[in-house]
Amino acid sequence: MLFASYNMIKSKEIPQEEKPIRILPLLIQGTAVGLISGLVGAGGGFLIIPALIIFGQMSMKKAVGTSLLIISANSLIGFLGKMDVEGMNCGFMLGISAIAIIGILIGAKMSQRIDGKKLKPAFGWFVLAMATLILLQELFK
């Protein structure tokens, strides 16, 4: 997360026209993100977006949309794998889902007004803050 935040914060131009996607680096990065997410239980969303920008050469807005699709697919697969678990709190799950949908709608509206060039470093700072928080939590457990 520290490496990803640094690459997003530093002043690097967002490509004006997107380059063809290179599959091998994205497969390697996707596997690494999956392993890290599986080992520590967090960071997938924070690592997918920088990977799509850095290795996929995507614009910030396209990377955010693509990562939401990836996260949705991951969540659906995880949910389907745990459907037989007794004691699932459906009310809580639906409540969180409703809040998330509201957040998505608000974020989609806001993204139309925010320039991608400003969004990229702002997200980089957010990722840096989260990385710092996670490191501090792990060090002082």
Averages of pLDDT over each 10 residues, the chain, 141 residues: 77 58 79 76 70 78 80 77 73 87 85 77 85 86 80
- pTM of the shown model: 0.61
- Provide the number of structural domains found in the chain: 1
**Identity of the residue numbered 13:** E
Q: Which residue has the tokens 């490496």?
A: 3
Range of the domain at 120: 2-139
Q: Are the C-beta atoms of residues 44 and 30 closer than 8 Å to each other?
A: no
Q: In the structure encoding, which two tokens stand for residue 120, read together?
A: 């990229």
From the CA atom positions of the chain, what is the Rg in Å?
Answer: 16
First to last CA, the chain: 20
Collapse the DSSP code of 114 into the 3-class scheme (helix H, G, I; strand E, B; otherwise coil) and give the result.
coil
